[in-house]
Every structure is written in C-alpha cells, then in structure tokens.
Amino acid sequence: MPRIDDLRLAELFAREVLADLIRKELLSPEWGERILAWRHTGFNVHSLVRAKTKTEAEPLLAPFLSPPTDAYDSSHFASTS
C-alpha cells in the first residue's frame, strides 16, 4: 500500500470538515478561512496504523463512534492489552 502524506491528508480533512460546518451554517466562511490560515489548525491525521478488516478497524474507531458521557472520562482510550 502506498505511503500517505499525513500533512496533505490533514489539510484535506480540515477543508472538508470546515466546508461541512459552513454548509450547515455553523461556521462563517470567513472563520473557515481564518482557521485554515492558522499554523496549527487543530486537525491531525495519523495513517501509520492500518486496518485490513472491519474487525481490526472497530477498536480504532470506537472512540469516535460513541462520545464519552463525561467530558473528562478518557476510559475509552484505555489500552485493551
């Protein structure tokens, strides 16, 4: 599998997320451009861990599929090993 450029992927991800927020009128286009101009936008992508099957992907996605009930509860990030 070819290596993915994480910086480029993070930029594309940021643009898609911000465009979606703008479409939903949750963010102004001006603020979207401001955020993209920041040195550190807060968007990050990590492509070194790859899942080949749904079974392998599910533990990686779990923190994103169901938000914690307590904003300070980080137990969903606990290692299963």
pLDDT in tens, 45-56: 877 778 889 898
Q: What is the pLDDT of residue 46?
A: 77
Encode pLDDT of 16-26 as tens digits. Answer: 999 999 999 99
**Residue 67: helix, strand or coil by DSSP?**
coil
Binned at pLDDT 50, 70 and 90, residue 76 comes out as low
Cβ 18 vs Cβ 37: under 8 Å: no
CB crowding 11-46: b at 16 or more within 10 Å, else e: eeebeeebeeebeeeebeeeebeebeeeeebebeee
Q: What is the pLDDT of residue 20?
A: 95
Q: How far apart are CA 78 and CA 72, in angstroms?
A: 13
Cβ 13 vs Cβ 6: under 8 Å: no
